[in-house]
Amino acid sequence: MNSIIDKIAEKLTPIAGKLGQNRYLAVLRDAFMLAFPLTMFGSIVVVINNLPFFSSDTQGLLNGLFGNGQNATMSIMTLFVSFGIGYYLTHSYEEDGVFGGVVALASFLILTPFNFTTAEGAEVSGALSLDRLGAKGMFVGMIGAFIATEIYVRIKKKGITIKMPEGVPDAVSRSFASLIPAIATLTIFNLLNALVNGAFETNLHDVVYTMIQQPLVGLGSGLPATLIALFLTQILWFFGLHGQIIINSVMDPIWQTLALDNLDAFNAGNELPHIITKSFMDTFTVGLGGTGMTLIVVVIMAFVMKSRQMKDLGRLAMGPGIFNVNEPVIFGMPVVLNASIAIPWIITPLIVATVNYFAMYLNIVPRPTGVIVPWTMPVFFSGMMATSSIMGGVLQLVDLLIIGTIWYPFLKALDNVYVRQAAEVEAEAIEA
């Protein structure tokens, strides 16, 4: 096993090193880490507000009282990431990062429509929709921030600025120095937004959203379609885009209909017609620790790995992970553009979903009854509730074993790197 782990580390470490030295990937990593404390707070609020033993009335009351804890953090994460990209990218060019950050943030907001349609069909203008500011708008926010910052920095590097005389307060001088580059950058983005709105009568958010959705329209409800949906979800998350929001917007109507068919059959005492349903996806994919099925991953990190970095992140993410909130892992490890864990992140859900499908196809485990189980319900209990059988919970435990087996070599390889880096830092400190 050690030789296999060493071979994996030998192959993956140089790749991870090259990725870590890339300016843009490093900026993206730092921007997500900027949002990490806010994500952790939002995760705690989500867990508390959606504890499975609370009644719907209690959950509604808690969300009304404490929902802004989530709205002000996880729900508007793109704002923090956009600012972080602008800040760190500008700083990497040895320019004033704060102004680069606010220009990147403003550029993203220029591309964001200030209107939306409610669930009842009412048009609301002069307001921002939370989904545009959160994970759904992440791709536009990231790309927009990188482009805006590059434009801003290049103009400033050319010396097209207003220079104030000596004696002017530093804050005033810095502000005027950024004035022309900021105005030029925001003007370009305003013209781009006007072009898209005027020529195509849409916005860049919807253009990106539609382009990703279109290939998914023809997907069906069988195992191949499910594996494609899971694969795309993991790939999109790997590149920093909330895969579930994008993929589920297409697949949820299909999965919900299949769940209702099963529920009708269950209530009538008939054989359940479908395996893949909304209950299957919520309970036997997301219900194993969130997107990517990371509950057992954080347990291994907390209690098996040796590096302080792994242990601390694992213990920190374990609480939310029990209730299937795993943003702390996604943005704390991070998963985004992390080549060292790309393989288990992508293939694990595909393997586990296939195992679960055939376990139900062969009638080893009952099919989901169509009951919608709260997505925050802990593992084992959610499996029993979804299938109305203890075998559903047992299958989830088997899933955890499979997930841990796939992830362990990659976690160990990454852990060895962290241990070696810590030893080198300690040795340098002793020599100093």
Distances (CA, A) of 34 to 79, 85, 218, 225: 11, 9, 38, 36
Which of 8, 10, 76, 24 is CA-nearest to residue 337? 24
pLDDT (0 to 100) of residue 213: 38
116 phi/psi in degrees, rounded to 5: -160, 165
Along the chain (432 residues), what's the average pLDDT of each consecutive run of 10 residues?
52 54 78 78 70 71 82 84 94 92 95 82 83 76 92 91 80 87 94 88 77 46 85 81 67 73 76 88 87 91 90 89 85 78 91 95 91 81 87 95 94 88 78 66
pLDDT (0 to 100) of residue 2: 47
Q: For residue 282, what are the contacts with CB-CB under 8 A and spacing of at least 6?
A: 372, 373, 375, 382, 386
CA 41 to chain centre: 15
Which of 40, 180, 153 is CA-nearest to residue 88? 153
183-203 pLDDT, tens per residue? 999 999 999 999 988 887 788
pLDDT (0 to 100) of residue 251: 75
pLDDT (0 to 100) of residue 257: 73
Residue 422, judged by CB atoms within 10 A of its CB (0-12, 13-18, 19+), counts as middle
Neighbours of 308 (CB within 10 A): 11
> What is the pTM for the complete model shown?
0.60
